Amino acid sequence: MRGISLLLIAAAVGSCSTAPQSTMRSPSGQRAYDAILTGKVAGAPVSCLPNYNANDMSIIDGQTLGFRVGTGTTYIVHLGQGCGLLGAGNYALLTKQFGGMGMCRGDIAQVFDTMNRITVGSCVVGSITPYTRP
């Protein structure tokens, strides 16, 4: 009986992992992902996206965003479940920033329907990985 309860606890803890999940992208999403990262290598994940500009954001799919910062760095931001409508129709991503840290892992992002002015989903910002040219 004790072994079963330990397995249940391990399964519960494992399901709370914030590691990025493998994403099945559409062909167009995969092309966008490949295009934004061509010739770049991944760096160590960071906890916050420094001084980003929403105009430099590319929506790859409902769980992946790309941000071009500066002249050669691209950040890939993985979102949790709930933002799947992002990039479809009149939907925009809203995040609330407090202080000057920018978008950080663990922040809650909302998908907002700009035509009807309602929130249609929300998700947690997951991993943030910088990519630079070698």
pLDDT surpasses 90 at 40: yes
The predicted pLDDT at position 100 comes to 60
Question: Quick one: pLDDT at residue 46?
Answer: 93
| pLDDT beyond 50 at 16 | no
SS3 state at 55: helix
The HSE-up count of residue 31 (CA atoms within 13 Å, CB side) is: 3
Average confidence (pLDDT) over 74-83: 91
- For 18-36, the pLDDT digits (tens) are 444 455 677 888 888 998 8
Q: Domain map of the chain by residue range? A: 26-132
pLDDT at 72: 82
φ/ψ bin of 98: left (φ > 0), alpha (ψ from -120 to 50), beta (otherwise): beta
Q: Which residue has the higher pLDDT, 113 or 44?
A: 44
* pLDDT over 60 at 1, yes or no: no
pLDDT at 8 over 60: no
Does 97 score more than 70 pLDDT?
no
